[in-house]
Structure 1
């Protein structure tokens, strides 16, 4: 199991400096994760830092609330692809989903998928604000609109990924649509449990701690020993 290639190393906190972002890209390249997920203004920086490393550049659209105009989301996605983004994590319109305005939610997602021009689009539901019925509806609308992933959370809401939500989301979409867990994925045990429930990609800031723990266990060390010797999460 290649744990590293399941991780999107998250660099989304608003206080991060450009130096912090470059350091995060260095971690991503050294640990050979799937991608970094950076703020929109950092896409060009991350693209330059990661060219030739095999690590993808992801970014966010309509983040973190999802309530910007569809035209703004689509324009943002288009510009980010031009700047070098390989993957787009967009927040659906949470309020419209809660209102039952399925046509709006569908068209909002579809516009970003079209603007992404074939790049991977992950749709963030922000499950902390949704009922199970709304989560299922959001997943199905994302699939109908052409998204490649459904995602639990931004990491900035009151709750993050749960086993129950991953199972629910996995059951709500077809096999070709993948599930990303984000928010609270801070340990290897959490990642493995969520993977068993159906998630295939994980947003994480504690990337190094997770990967060091995995390597230590592969060497036969205990999880406690791994935690004591890791370099901490980014």
Structure 2
């Protein structure tokens, strides 16, 4: 499968990301301006600047996405639920939450399902998109499959590879494995380490419907140039 999308369609697969601890207001203003200009699907941010970015993107189709339990996933279900609710109240259109990786490594699948259902139910109730971050760099293939099998039942909108803050980012093999497991029930988001057009296209070809990256402008401009040469 080759990537044969218009520039607009390609841009609409990108979550333009700014999750740095030292990001300032001017950085978020730049992020939102770029998202408007290039037509990215979403700005991916921590939950604190949701109100600011929602205001900056008013009267724009660009979504505001809040990262929950980020980046370690090591908060309680109730803490993640509260953060999710608050982010939605502040204007978030999408929620990307990190699973409790420790519980998964301990084999506590009931906890993983309970946590996922809690967050996804909050999002569904408010008609907000939900994404489950596996942090695949720390998981075995069997553990990745188990989370994706749970997702098939709970039905978040997406399962997502990594935070970009772990030991490694997205891989083609992980995207393929996740897509094969969830099938058509759930979409896949690839994030972490996607810094050029080739990698972005590889992820889409592997089955990713959404891409999270901070190199969004560089990648979309590479795609614009490529499409211009072809056309």
Q: Could you tell me the TM-score, scaled by structure 1's length?
A: 0.92
* 2:116 matches 1:109: yes
Higher alpha-carbon deviation: 113-122 or 153-162 = 113-122
Partner of 1:76, secondary structure, is helix
Please name the residue that 1:77 is paired with: 84
Partner of 1:161, secondary structure, is coil
Partner of 1:179, secondary structure, is strand
Whole-Å Cα distance in 2 between the matches of residues 46 and 26 of structure 1? Answer: 10
The structural deviation recorded for 1:114 is 1.8
The structural deviation recorded for 1:109 is 1.0
Please name the residue that 2:46 is paired with: 39
Please name the residue that 2:197 is paired with: 188
Aligned residues: 221
Whole-Å Cα distance in 2 between the matches of residues 144 and 91 of structure 1? Answer: 18
Describe how 1:83-102 pairs up with structure 2 within 5 A.
Answer: 83-102=90-109
Please name the residue that 2:172 is paired with: 163
Whole-Å Cα distance in 2 between the matches of residues 67 and 17 of structure 1? Answer: 25
Whole-Å Cα distance in 1 between the matches of residues 71 and 146 of structure 2? Answer: 20
Whole-Å Cα distance in 2 between the matches of residues 111 and 94 of structure 1? Answer: 16
Whole-Å Cα distance in 2 between the matches of residues 85 and 19 of structure 1? Answer: 20
Whole-Å Cα distance in 2 between the matches of residues 140 and 92 of structure 1? Answer: 14
Q: Is the 8 A contact 1:149 1:177 kept in 2?
A: yes
* 2:73 matches 1:60: no
From 146, 154, 173, the equivalent of 1:137 is 146
Whole-Å Cα distance in 2 between the matches of residues 139 and 18 of structure 1? Answer: 36
* 2:43 matches 1:24: no
Q: Is the 8 A contact 1:57 1:84 kept in 2?
A: yes
Please name the residue that 1:197 is paired with: 206
Structure 1 runs not aligned, ≥5 long: 222-234
Whole-Å Cα distance in 1 between the matches of residues 45 and 98 of structure 2? Answer: 14
Q: Is the 8 A contact 2:81 2:118 kept in 1?
A: yes
Please name the residue that 1:228 is paired with: none
Whole-Å Cα distance in 2 between the matches of residues 19 and 44 of structure 1? Answer: 15
Q: Could you tell me the TM-score, scaled by structure 2's length?
A: 0.93
Please name the residue that 2:156 is paired with: 147
Structure 2 runs not aligned, ≥5 long: none
From 184, 194, 200, the equivalent of 1:175 is 184
Q: Quick one: higher RCO (CA 8 Å, sep 6+), 1 or 2?
A: 2
